[in-house]
């Protein structure tokens, strides 16, 4: 009898998670995908006869026991690797895993339908079929599998099963389409038609003008009822909230928002005008948002029209909301007069482990592989606590993959805490391991499209992984100019450097415009027309000019800036330095608000 190594992959994962116009889509889509993957993993384990305590067939992910797979706070990615005992057909195990994944998706879809959203039932049915044909990998969440006999060489078997799975993925199933003419496509996924009834409006869905949703989009927007998540506006306002929360003016603002939050909407008396962030109770909750547990746009007067515009058909409710908004605006004005306006930028962060493949290649058997997977699960399990401590909102953490939204003033510290945790857990006690964590971050405006900010964060992760990896890459997307970014190895301690530049800017040891002077100087040297053997001369001349520039601006900063100038070898290095100083200035202004500096 033969033992098999089974590999399973869910898809299309990126499309399911990334298709998000609101943070609710993003968070719930990520969590839902994890729950679907866990349903498939549970099916695999049970199909192999696991009782959850004496042994587990699962190699990756590696839960401690079967109970952990039922824990909503335990996340997993899109891959499953398992040892299939002798006497069990891997094809049947894979089939049951596919059916379990689909059944879990249908469970979420039915919950969403039960929220009372006005749906075109005939189109909804075509996108949420209970049973799949035998030759279909999946309707919304696809599942592909491959398996090989487990030979004596575990690494050879692992390499072969992954090669086969890659080929199976490339041969995706394309079932006959059920498209209909004259029906608008989903705004999140243009492959499917909208399931919304023509002309129907629902406050639950928080639809943008002209937005359409398919069954997956509706499920991400209202699945499991009114589960509110922190918005980009709420994260952008977090430094301001931290700095102002102890004042009596701020408490008056919270009371005014509380009154507005009790006003029900027209379409559903249970749905308040001002949404709340979940801060207590069952998973997920965001305890760090307790000082102001409301939708963040209420803190920006220019967005208040959104609360009234949704009630245009109900004069009585509109009058109540308008009256209460005036109370909020009066209270907000008093806080702003002392603490200035809330900031408008937040951070999207994406992190990924480096050299994980090298670590896996050192696993000579399934037991070593599972031990490595357990370490990855341990790291992922601690990510939420780190993000919460930094007043952020975790999107996803499974294995070495992390994504989160963070307030501007804590984001770099959060990235540094994560990479330290990763090193301690993954490499701790194993001198031969050299796994690291590369982090990409984007500072974006809360009014910018969420999809664009996330795509930029993923691109920054790619930038961080260039060269020797183990780096931090940060991009600043100002609404008034072109994006700028820098990349720095963690070995150069970019978190400490940014703090140093913040200190110099805060205490006026350097003027705010010094970064732009550095940039202009560097650009002049980019036109250097000297010969190849004059590169060293150009380097020394550039360093001298920069040192003279900075010491002329502030002689007290001389000792601090000299080491950074000495690192510069080319004009692009100086431009990167200017970008770091500009980004440090943006962070420093958010930190001032968090420290409660009055206007």
Which domains, from first to last, does the chain contain? 4-173+187-199+210-222 (3.30.70.2220), 232-339 (no CATH), 344-492 (3.30.70.270), 493-599 (no CATH)
DSSP 269-338: TTSBSS-B---SSSSS--GGGTTS-B-GGGG-GGGTHHHHHTTTT-HHHHHHHHHHHHHHHHHHHHHHHH
CA–CA separation, 599 and 32 (whole Å): 43
What would the two tokens of residue 398 be?
């499974």
Find the helix packing angle between 514-526 and 535-553, rounded to 10°.
Answer: 160
List Cβ neighbours of 67 (8 Å cut-off, separation of 6 or more).
Answer: 52
pLDDT reported for residue 9: 92
CA distances from 321 to 76, 181, 526 (A): 42, 41, 58
Edge-to-edge strands of the sheet including 471-476?
Answer: 393-398, 401-407, 345-354, 436-445, 471-476, 484-489
Among the residues of 194-247, which ranges form H helices? Answer: 215-222, 232-244
* 474, β-bridge pairs: 441, 486
Among the residues of 390-513, which ranges form H helices? Answer: 411-422, 450-464, 494-506
- Which strand (E) or helix (H) includes residue 353? strand 345-354
In b/e form, how buried is each residue of 527-561, taking b as 16+ CB within 10 angstroms? eeeeeeeeeeeebeebbebbbebbeebbeebeebb
- Say what the alpha-carbon torsion angle 314, 315, 321, 327 is, to the nearest 10 degrees: 180
pLDDT per position in the chain (599 positions), as tens?
578 999 999 877 656 676 777 888 888 888 888 999 999 999 999 888 765 444 578 998 888 888 888 888 888 888 999 999 888 999 999 999 999 999 999 999 998 888 778 888 888 888 888 887 776 667 778 899 999 998 788 999 999 999 999 888 877 766 555 556 677 888 777 777 888 888 666 666 777 777 888 888 888 888 776 667 899 999 999 999 999 999 999 999 999 999 888 876 555 555 677 888 888 877 788 888 999 999 999 999 999 887 776 655 566 677 778 888 999 999 999 999 999 999 999 999 999 999 998 888 888 899 999 999 999 999 999 999 999 999 999 999 999 999 999 999 999 999 999 999 999 999 986 767 789 999 999 999 999 999 899 999 999 999 999 989 999 999 999 988 899 999 999 999 999 999 999 988 887 777 778 889 999 999 888 877 666 667 888 888 999 998 888 777 666 667 778 888 888 988 999 999 999 999 999 999 999 999 987 55
CA–CA separation, 170 and 462 (whole Å): 23
pLDDT reported for residue 315: 66
What would the two tokens of residue 199 be?
């002309």
Query: Which is it for the CA torsion 554, 560, 563, 564, positive or negative?
Result: negative
CA distances from 39 to 77, 96, 97, 334, 381 (A): 12, 10, 8, 51, 18
- Residues 268 and 116: beta-carbon distance below 8 Å: yes
Q: How many C-beta atoms surround the C-beta of residue 236 within 10 A?
A: 27
Model pTM above 0.75: yes
């Amino acid at each position: 009898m033969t033992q098999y190594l089974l590999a399973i992959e869910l898809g299309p994962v990126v499309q399911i998670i990334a298709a998000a116009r609101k943070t609710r889509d993003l968070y719930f889509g990520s969590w839902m995908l994890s729950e679907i993957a866990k349903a498939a993993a549970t099916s695999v384990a049970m199909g192999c006869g696991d009782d959850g305590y004496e042994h587990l067939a699962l190699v990756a992910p590696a839960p401690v026991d079967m109970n952990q797979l039922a824990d909503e706070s335990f996340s997993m990615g899109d891959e499953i690797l398992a040892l299939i005992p002798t006497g069990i057909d891997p094809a049947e195990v894979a089939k049951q895993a596919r059916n379990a994944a689909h059944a879990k998706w249908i469970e979420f879809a039915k919950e969403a339908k039960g929220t009372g959203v006005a749906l075109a039932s005939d189109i909804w049915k075509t996108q949420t079929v209970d049973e799949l044909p035998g030759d279909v990998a999946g309707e919304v969440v696809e599942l592909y599998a491959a398996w090989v006999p487990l030979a004596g060489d575990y690494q050879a078997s692992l390499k072969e099963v992954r090669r086969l799975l890659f080929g199976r993925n490339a041969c995706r199933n394309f079932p006959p389409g059920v498209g209909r003419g004259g029906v608008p496509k989903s705004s999140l996924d243009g492959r499917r038609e909208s399931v919304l009834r023509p002309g129907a409006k629902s406050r639950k869905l928080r639809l943008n003008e002209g937005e359409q949703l398919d069954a997956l989009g509706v499920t991400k927007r209202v699945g499991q009822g009114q589960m509110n998540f922190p918005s980009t506006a709420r994260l952008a306002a977090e430094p301001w909230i931290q700095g102002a929360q102890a004042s009596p003016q701020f408490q008056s603002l919270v009371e005014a928002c509380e009154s507005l939050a009790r006003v029900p909407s027209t379409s559903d008396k249970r749905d308040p005008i001002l949404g709340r962030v979940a801060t207590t109770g069952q998973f997920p909750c965001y305890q760090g948002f307790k000082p102001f547990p409301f939708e963040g746009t209420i803190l920006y007067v220019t967005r208040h029209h959104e609360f009234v515009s949704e009630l245009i058909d109900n004069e009585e409710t509109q009058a109540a909301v308008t009256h209460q908004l005036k109370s909020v605006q009066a209270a907000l004005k008093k806080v702003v007069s002392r603490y200035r306006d809330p900031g408008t930028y937040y951070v999207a962060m994406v992190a990924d482990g480096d050299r994980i493949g090298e670590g896996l290649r050192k696993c000579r058997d399934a037991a070593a592989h599972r031990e490595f997977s357990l370490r990855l699960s341990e790291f992922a399990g601690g990510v939420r606590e780190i993000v919460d401590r930094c007043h952020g909102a975790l999107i996803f953490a499974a294995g070495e993959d992390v994504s989160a939204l963070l307030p501007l003033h804590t984001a770099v510290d959060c990235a540094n805490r994560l990479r330290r945790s990763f090193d301690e857990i993954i490499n701790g006690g194993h001198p031969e391991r050299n796994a690291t964590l590369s982090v990409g971050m984007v500072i974006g405006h809360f009014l910018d499209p969420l999809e664009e900010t996330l795509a930029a964060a993923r691109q920054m992760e790619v930038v961080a992984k260039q060269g020797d990896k183990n780096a931090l890459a940060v991009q600043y997307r100002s609404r008034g100019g072109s994006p700028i970014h820098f990349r720095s190895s963690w070995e150069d301690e970019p978190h400490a450097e940014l703090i140093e530049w913040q200190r110099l800017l805060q205490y006026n040891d350097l003027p705010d415009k010094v970064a732009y002077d550095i940039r202009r100087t560097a650009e002049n040297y980019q036109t250097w027309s000297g010969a190849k053997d004059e590169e060293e001369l150009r380097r020394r001349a550039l360093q001298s000019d920069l040192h003279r520039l900075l010491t002329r601006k502030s002689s007290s900063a001389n000792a601090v800036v000299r080491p950074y100038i000495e690192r510069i070898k080319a004009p692009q290095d100086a431009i990167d330095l200017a970008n770091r100083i500009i980004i440090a200035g943006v962070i420093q202004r958010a930190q001032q608000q968090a420290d409660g500096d009055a206007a």
